Structure 1
Amino acid sequence: MDIRVLSYFLMAAREENITRAAQLLHVTQPTLSRQLMQLEEELGVKLFQRSNHSVYLTDEGMVFRRRAQELVNLAEKAQEELTQKVETLSGIIAIGCGEMRGVQEVAKLITGFQERYPLVKFELYSGNNEDIKERMEQGTLDMGLLLEPVSIVKYDFIRMKTKEQWGVLIHKDAPLASQDVIRPGDLVGTQVVTVHLNTPVHHELVGWSGNFAKQMESCVNYNLLYNAVIAARERKGAAICVKLDCHYDDMKFLPLEPKLELSSVLAWKDQQAYSKATTAFIKYVKDVYR
């Protein structure tokens, strides 16, 4: 299985039309069809459902598409790193970031580094701790901004100076919106949108709520805040979240009391070989926070 054939597969999956995909790949339609059938034979599964004019991914094809994209991305990343010019630092550094104010510190680090090395580019991926760590393990992310508490035994890291303050975004028409803070027990009886269950961050919130945690009605769980706010606003409920420098219509942020603040870390895999650009950025980060 070579990368070129995986690229063919991804193009056909995207276009859902063999003729159009072949034109974009600059190959003949019979060549592309033959390569895709050989790929199916090699894998021993049917990747496409075919009709007269279109192709659609099977369930197996949708699973394979994700892995194929990861392999193509890794191959492109490896080629970029190996062909990097010796005399000029360049390349792409991929960083996963959770939704938190600590991203401002990462942005300052990126700006300062690019002032020294303007040919280095950065890719930012938004996700929660679990998404980011999975991609770091796969090699598609070089670093990750992770919200504590988080297991970082396999990582080297620096801790951000910014504290992440927890509270709720609540609809302005909700009875609790008249308050200045949210205390344990206040959210009982309110439809609550909260972070995914059974994660370390969720356990911190349960610990803050104490005995009231079992009485709270969690109607939706989320990993990224924007969609959570939409759900909470529709229900005229509350989304438990960190404070961000964002405005949401009809929603008001109330901090938790007693105050709940968590830290974040910028982490990377320990004992791993990185590109010259990533290695230089890690050194720069360490120097800044020394």
Structure 2
Amino acid sequence: MRKAADRLYVTQPTLTRAMQNLEDEMGMKLLVRSNHGVSLTTTGESLYYYAQSVINQLSEIEALKLKDKEFEQNKLALSVGNIILEDEIMLNFYENLQTRHANISIYETSIEKVLVHVAKLESEIGIIAVNTEQYPALNKILEIKGLEAHEIASSPLYVHVGGKSPLYGMDCIEPRELLRHTYVHLPYDYFSNINELITLGEIRVMDFKHTIVINNYHAIVNMIKRTDAFIFGGKWQIDELEKGHIDSLLLNNCNVEKKLMWIKRKKEILSIQAREFLDIIKENYAD
């Protein structure tokens, strides 16, 4: 409390009274005080995130006052999970910017961390690809974290392989034919653990004995190009991977589909930049 008071240029008793008044207005405790310091209650944490959202919207309103676009700054923070975006996506977004000043942050990570980033205001929106087995769990987590998801497109499951793979050039493949090849995927999280139990035709994902875990999309693509390894994906990655001579094979006898979705916090008004980015995503990927 003392450090917070110093940063706010008020005395500690003044800040303490202000917090007590806020708790009285909310009708519940917002802070937990102990010998180790002060932490937020669950309600306090929710209020903090909502307040951050309000501040972001006020910044958008302030930006409207600027008549000269030369001095306006475009800001966009987004997280991407389990998908390799086309290069043209960012190029199109860049070309549509109405100002020289841009602050664009893209986090390529797991689905679970995308949800955390959006919930904690580290990213305004998230783009994720989930399969139909992961979808029920996703809906539960969205509800808990106060998020909402919107479907962009759906796709059958594809297998992506490079020119070094004996599978290269095939149109489709049976799941059991993949067992002798190396399966590459992102680090384990809650959603990838669900994948372990998925049945693909006569096999399960957990039956793959040769697996490599890589936490970087660029490194994954390079691994696919130079070895017989493969990754699973959807139709929206086909064109981009083809530029790197990576082929896409339809997986036969598989009831699992993939969904491309975008995520945001409930009741939040998206910035102009986020809406423009989503328009480009939909233009390139939407069914």
TM bin, normalised by shorter chain, reads 0.5 to 0.7
Question: What is the aligned-residue RMSD (CA, Å)?
Answer: 4.5
Q: Percent identity among equivalent residues? A: 10
Contact 2:181 2:229 in 1 (8 A): yes
Give runs of aligned pairs for residues 1-80 of structure 1, distance below 5 A.
Answer: none
Aligned match of 1:21? none
Aligned match of 1:268? 264
Contact 1:96 1:143 in 2 (8 A): yes
Contact 2:171 2:248 in 1 (8 A): no
Aligned match of 2:62? 84
Aligned match of 1:25? none
Counterpart pick for 1:159 among 142, 151, 154: 151
Counterpart pick for 2:221 among 212, 219, 229: 229
Deviation (angstroms), 1:129 = 1.6
Give runs of aligned pairs for residues 199-214 of structure 1, distance below 5 A.
Answer: 199-200=190-191, 203-204=194-195, 206-209=197-200, 211-213=202-204, 214=206
Higher RCO (C-alpha 8 Å, min separation 6): 2
Deviation (angstroms), 1:132 = 2.1
Contact 1:194 1:218 in 2 (8 A): no
> Aligned partners of 2:176, 2:200: CA distance in 1, in Å?
7
| Cα 1:228–1:163 shift into 2, 3 Å | same
Deviation (angstroms), 1:107 = 6.2
Q: What's the secondary structure of 1:177's corresponding residue? A: coil
Contact 2:164 2:226 in 1 (8 A): no
Contact 1:96 1:144 in 2 (8 A): yes
Deviations 1:62-115 (A, max 9, x none): xxxxxxxxxxxx9xx97x938934424855131222353777997699589x57
Deviations 1:235-284 (A, max 9, x none): 43323334342346564322222465322222211245x6xxx4456778
Give runs of aligned pairs for residues 77-116 of structure 1, distance below 5 A.
Answer: 81=59, 84-88=62-66, 91-98=74-81, 100=83
Asked if 1:133 is matched to 2:115, the reply is yes
Deviation (angstroms), 1:216 = 1.6
Aligned match of 1:170? 161
Contact 2:111 2:191 in 1 (8 A): no
Relative to the length of structure 2, the TM-score reads 0.54
Contact 2:165 2:228 in 1 (8 A): yes
Asked if 1:123 is matched to 2:104, the reply is yes
Aligned match of 1:218? 210
Deviation (angstroms), 1:187 = 0.9
Higher strand share: 2
Contact 2:163 2:225 in 1 (8 A): no
User: Which amino acid letter does the alignment assign opposite residue 167 of structure 1?
Assistant: Y
Give runs of aligned pairs for residues 178-189 of structure 1, distance below 5 A.
Answer: 179-189=170-180
Contact 2:129 2:259 in 1 (8 A): yes
Q: What's the secondary structure of 1:95's corresponding residue? A: strand
> Aligned partners of 1:128, 1:200: CA distance in 2, in Å?
9
User: Which amino acid letter does the alignment assign opposite residue 138 of structure 1?
Assistant: K
Q: What's the secondary structure of 1:140's corresponding residue? A: coil
Deviation (angstroms), 1:135 = 2.1
Aligned match of 1:49? none
Deviations 1:117-152 (A, max 9, x none): 658846241333223222223322111112233332
> Aligned partners of 1:101, 1:165: CA distance in 2, in Å?
17
Deviations 1:31-50 (A, max 9, x none): xxxxxxxxxxxxxxxxxxxx
User: Which amino acid letter does the alignment assign opposite residue 166 of structure 1?
Assistant: L
Q: What's the secondary structure of 2:177's corresponding residue? A: coil
Relative to the length of structure 1, the TM-score reads 0.53
User: Which amino acid letter does the alignment assign opposite residue 246 of structure 1?
Assistant: L
> Aligned partners of 1:131, 1:217: CA distance in 2, in Å?
26
> Aligned partners of 2:103, 2:78: CA distance in 1, in Å?
7
Unmatched runs of 5 consecutive residues or more in structure 2: 8-51, 67-71, 283-287
Matched positions, count: 211
User: Which amino acid letter does the alignment assign opposite residue 129 of structure 2?
Assistant: L
> Aligned partners of 1:287, 1:82: CA distance in 2, in Å?
19
User: Which amino acid letter does the alignment assign opposite residue 230 of structure 1?
Assistant: N
